[in-house]
Structure 1
Amino acid sequence: MRFRPGTTGPAVVAVCTLALTACSAGSLGSSDEGGAGSVTLTYLTGNQEQDIKEAEQLSKDFTAKNPDITVKVESRPGGTEGDNIVKTRLSTGDMTDVFLYNTGSLFQAIAPQKNLVPISDQPYIGDLDENFTKTVTAGDQVYGVPSGGFMGGAVLYNIPIYSKLGLKVPRTWAEFMANNAKIKASGVAPVVQTYGETWTSQLFVLGDFHNVAAAEPDFADRYTKNQAKYATSPAALKGFEHTQQVHDAGYQNKDFASAKLPDGLRQLAQGKGAHYPILTGVVNDMIATNPNAAKDVGLFALPGDDASKNGLTVWTPAGIYIPSTTTGDKLEAAKKFLAFVASPDGCKALAAVGSPTGPYAVNGCELPSDVPRSIKDMQPYLDKDGGSSLALEFLSPVKGPSLEQITVEVGSGIRKAKDGAARYDDDVKKQAQQLGLAGW
């Protein structure tokens, strides 16, 4: 199933994690581990529960086809801490043989032309969705393959609560806040937030980009050229304002400051919270511990001001890369592994242990018929002309590292929206200068 973007143009630049555990697989010489004629690869990946499940299945199925290659896993945390680990290991030459990491702006920030092995000459590249390949391209070279499907940055909502209170899916921010008022009056937390894991605090800002692009179609281009700012763009500022408004109205769960992602998913699935702005990459984790969520949790795009332009902000899958320190037999084995991931067999392996986060980025990979309700709810946005837009980090290499800390402050009442937006504008400056972008 092909991803069809909205009206914001091609992708350049994105989020979330998957994983791989010990596996073995093809006859490619010898290594210091394993038996004669075998190669052992190390693989650095994320540490979420679903990541591990997917990793084990990829390992098993890859091993069946390549019994002389063993892949051993190392895991890392998400967010800023994980970013720093990846950058440090690349800079010190201590990176694993293959690793999973973000696409888009964060991919650009790890100096791919210096630190990664290009794979543009691999025969499967033509089978990858071009919206994905543009997010893992530096210069004229492609460096990564997709692990999983596209994701939506949206609001997951509890359907039984909506049914009980007679609520309709909101298409404007005013309708969303009106729903929140009714939900709070019923004794349920309207909006789940999990600032104990800071990366989850960003969705009211990042997931709102479809609305920004609808109001200012050239925002991404002007932002890259240092001609547009969050603090001075009325459309872009709204994400910060919405984060503040939800806090000021008392619509968050009581433990928002300390709750973590598993807590938020549980509260939503069990009807203790009605809405959770988050990436659809977490749906499998939610269903793994709360199977009822497959039918009881739906999805809607973050609402803006104009119902006629309501649409979904979309993220590409994470990428799997080969660092330039991988050489010889290990390099050939690593290329084999990437080829497996970027094939229908790789998609089937992932689907065997959890529902996709959205349409796949590999030609020939089809969504299963029994995907959860929240994933099905993405499709109308993707099918509608202008109904979806790539997140800003796919359209611009400019992305600051401190957004998740800033949105926690705004969403906790520590900092006002405009102050937070201005601070983020300052935060992106250093990265833009490091990338050598004109105008900075």
Structure 2
Amino acid sequence: MRGTSIKRILAAAIAMSLVVTVAGCGKTGEKATASTAGESTAATSAEAAAKPSALRIITWSNQSSVDAINELSKKYMEKYPNVKVDMSVVDTDNYPTLQRTRLQANDVDIVTMGGGFVGEKVDWAPGAVPEWQQLIDSGVFTELTNQPWVANWSTGAKAGTYKGKVYAISTGANATTGIFYNKKLFDEQGLKLPETWAEFEQLCAELKARNITPMTCGGQDQWPYQMIVNDVMAGLDIDYTTYAKGLWTGEKKFNDADGLKVFERMEFINNNMEKNFMSIPYSAVISRFVSGKAAMLPDGAWQAGEITKANKDFQFGYFPMPGTNKGVNFQGKFDLFFAVNDKSENKDNALNLLAMLSDKESYTAFVNKVGFIPTMDGVNITNEFLASLLPYTSNLKNSWELEYRIPVGVGQYAQNKGFNPQFLKSAGGSIKTIQELADLTQKDFEKAAAANKSK
């Protein structure tokens, strides 16, 4: 693949619909805001910052992330007033397309990514090549290994490493397998946090008996609902790499006991969601939660800041989706990676941004603003919610979606995270039973996997 042109790689990426995983979502439409950063003692970097120039950044519309980047940008532009930063922001669904088109047109300097360098092509899953790997192999991203500020990062640089070289920096990690809950409501109702799946079922039954809707979700956007599959998988005590490989070798199936358990638990969640939850946009789900439409909200930890913005007096907590046994911890992913377009004419300014971000003082302000689990050691966390998560995230494991190898050309039932319970009647779909959906999922996966292996 190293001999393939960048344009062909990008075109292939579009054709195969490979998507860089992102977290957070927001309003549709691209908008421009000011943002950049950088600090370097190198003469070339100083000269670049002294020249009138524009630095172009692209990202997706998670408001906390956008706000953090803008604050960092303001600091940079105060230091280097000749640099103007343009940040393009689009909704999550449209971001992969924006990334591809802007890279292909060489119209971007800094690319943000979510999900990290996971899912690298392996022999047992032929054809399943993640887009980040294609981009690096084709020389799109600048190698950062020898930049002096890389040493400031602990897990932030490691998460952006491929074949022993650093190509991106993760600005933080996110817990994605948790549930927000209304503390005041729980206290008033005398409810306890569940530690097992059986206790979770009992909690939902108690809420419904008191005419309280257990959960809500921004199902209209699909991915927030799909993310709950990660929550369920986290509670099944499954080794994800072994499970993902087993699906390709035939040792595991979507319609075996473990697979049916996932569908079964997702159907339970469907039946305990707010009515017509698949029609609720993600942009509206926070207001519904804080206004009392439901007692709980399964979502990523990044939403804590949005909850506080919606109602600063709203009391909430966050607990891991319970599993079969006690002791389930949060799982998640490294998030909001910064990578530099290697063809950029503003590469020095782009590297300056990463240098300033890599300064502990700048990063401390950034990570507290965005609400991420730090990927740099020795950072003082002032974000109360974030501090409450740290004891449970010191060894954060990847969620299921980052290990699942999707066959190229797979049918609708085995896309996304493999399990697509939105097709069940309980979620507004047309399929009546979990067995039927599990069988359809396995059929789609086997067909695509066989086709991939035959190439």
TM-score by length of 2: 0.76
CA RMSD of aligned residues (A): 3.6
Contact 1:226 1:439 (8 Å CA) reproduced: no
Unaligned runs of 5+ in 2: 1-19, 26-30, 40-44, 121-129, 408-413
Query: Counterpart amino acid of 2:141?
Result: L
- Find out whether 1:126 has 2:137 as its counterpart: no
SS of the equivalent of 1:316 reads strand
| Structure 1 range deviating more: 64-73 or 183-192 | 64-73
1:385-436 alpha-carbon deviations (Å, 9 max, x no partner): xx853213445665886449934334614244455556666777899899x9
Distance change in 2, residues 1:30/1:15 (3 Å): closer
Unpaired segments ≥5 residues, structure 1: 1-12
Once the two structures are TM-superposed, the CA of residue 302 in structure 1 deviates from its matched residue by 1.0
Alignment check: 8 A CA contact 1:231 1:422 kept:
yes
Q: Which of 97, 100, 105 is matched with 1:87 structurally?
A: 100
Q: Does 1:313 align with 2:338?
A: no
Deviations 1:318-340 (A, max 9, x none): 2011123314xx01111111222
2:3 counterpart residue number: none
Partner residue, 1:64: 78
Tell me whether 1:205 sits opposite 2:229 in the alignment.
yes
- In the alignment, which of 137, 159, 184 is matched to residue 208 of structure 2? 184
Other-structure match for 1:325: 343
Amino acid at match of 2:392: Y
Cα distance in 1 for partners of 2:436, 2:325 equals 25
Provide the C-alpha distance between the structure 2 equivalents of 1:412 and 1:45, rounded to a whole number of angstroms. Answer: 31
Q: Which moved more, 1:163-172 or 1:65-74?
A: 65-74
Matched residues in 1 for 2:324 and 2:357: separation? 40
Q: What's the offset of the Cα at 1:280?
A: 0.6
1:239 paired residue number: 262
State yes or no: 1:392 paired with 2:418: no
1:98 Cα shift?
Answer: 0.8
Residue 156 of structure 1 aligns with which residue? 180
Q: Which moved more, 1:62-71 or 1:275-284?
A: 62-71
Q: Secondary structure at the match of 1:378?
A: helix
Instruction: Give the corresponding residue for 1:300.
Output: 319
Where 1:99 maps in the other structure, the secondary structure is strand
Q: Mark the CA change 1:218 to 1:86 in structure 2 (over 3 Å): closer, same or farther.
A: closer
Q: Which amino acid aligns with 1:123?
A: P
Q: Report the Cα offset of residue 173 of structure 1.
A: 1.4
Do the aligned partners of residues 397 and 129 (structure 1) sit closer, same or farther apart at CA in structure 2, a change above 3 Å counting? farther
Q: 2:245 aligned to 222, 235, 246, which one? A: 222
AA aligned to 1:325 is K
SS in 2 for 1:321: strand
Task: Tell me the alpha carbon deviations over residues 129-170 of structure 1, each in whole angstroms, 9 at most, x when there is no partner.
Answer: 33x444423323221112344334211111112112211111
Cα distance change, pair 334–404 in 1 and its aligned pair in 2 (3 A): farther
Alpha-carbon displacement from aligned partner over 1:62-121 (angstroms, at most 9, x marks no partner): 223333332111112103x3223323443x334411121122348942323222222111
Q: Which structure's CA Rg is the greater one? A: 2
Compared CA separation, residues 104 and 275, structure 1 to 2 (3 A): farther
Contact between 1:104 and 1:393, CA under 8 Å: does it hold in 2? no
Deviation at 1:237, TM superposition (A): 4.6
Helix, strand or coil for the counterpart of 2:420?
Answer: helix
For the residue of structure 2 that corresponds to 1:189, the secondary structure is: coil
Percent of paired sites with the same residue? 18
Shift of 1:232: 4.4
2:304 equivalent to 1:283? yes
CA distance in 1, matches of 2:72, 2:400: 30
Q: Offset of 1:216 from its aligned partner?
A: 3.9
Deviation string, structure 1 residues 185-215 (Cα, Å, up to 9, x no partner):
2222111121122110123211234334x24
Q: Note the C-alpha offset of 1:314.
A: 2.2
Q: How far apart, CA to CA, are the structure 2 residues paired with 1:239 and 1:20?
A: 41
SS at match of 1:190: coil
Please give the residue correspondences for 1:349-364 in structure 2 after superposition, counting only pairs within 5 Å.
349-351=365-367, 354=369, 356-357=371-372, 359-364=373-378
Structure 2 residue corresponding to 1:16, chosen from 16, 20, 23: 23
CA distance in 1, matches of 2:449, 2:168: 23
Aligned counterparts of 2:160 and 2:443: Cα–Cα separation in 1: 26
**Matched residues in 2 for 1:116 and 1:60: separation?**
25
In 1, are the aligned partners of 2:356 and 2:362 still within 8 Å (CA)?
yes
For the structure 1 residues 125 and 419, does the alpha-carbon distance in structure 2 shift closer, same or farther, using more than 3 Å as the test? Answer: farther
Instruction: Report the Cα distance in structure 2 between the residues aligned to 1:134 and 1:424, rounded to whole angstroms.
Output: 35
Q: Is the 8 A contact 2:194 2:200 kept in 1?
A: yes
Tell me the distance in 2 between the aligned counterparts of 1:286 and 1:236: 33
Aligned length: 403
Quote the offset at 1:171 in angstroms: 1.3
- Per the alignment, do residues 344 and 255 of structure 1 end up closer, same or farther by CA in structure 2, a change over 3 Å counting? farther
Q: Which of these residues, 96, 109, 113, is aligned with residue 131 of structure 2?
A: 109
Calculate the TM-score normalised by the size of structure 1.
0.79
Relative to structure 1, is the Cα distance of residues 119 and 334 closer, same or farther in structure 2, using a 3 angstrom cutoff?
same
Residues 1:254 and 2:279 are matched in the alignment = no
